[in-house]
Structure 1
Amino acid sequence: MVSDLRANDWAEPDSVLGTYVAQMDRLSAPVKPGVPLSLTVHGLLVSGELIPQWQWFSEVSELNDHEDAFYTGMAEHMKEQSDLAHDAIKLRDSGHEVTQRQHNAVTAPTKYIHLRNTRIYSPDSEPGEVRLWRGRLCDVSGWTPGAPVSAG
Structure 2
Amino acid sequence: MKRGKLYKREQFNLGYFTNSKKKIRFSIRKNYYSDYNIKLRAKQKIKRIYLIKEKQFFNYIKKCFSKPIKLLYILESRLDSILYRTGLFKTIKEVKQFINHKNVIINNNLNNISSTIIKINDILILKKKIINISSNKNFYFYKNKILILKIPFFKNIKFISLQDIFGFYRK
Q: Same fold (TM over 0.5)?
A: no
Q: Which has the higher contact order (CA 8 A, sep 6+)?
A: 1
Bin of the TM-score, shorter chain as denominator length:
under 0.3
Alignment TM-score, normalising by the size of structure 2: 0.24
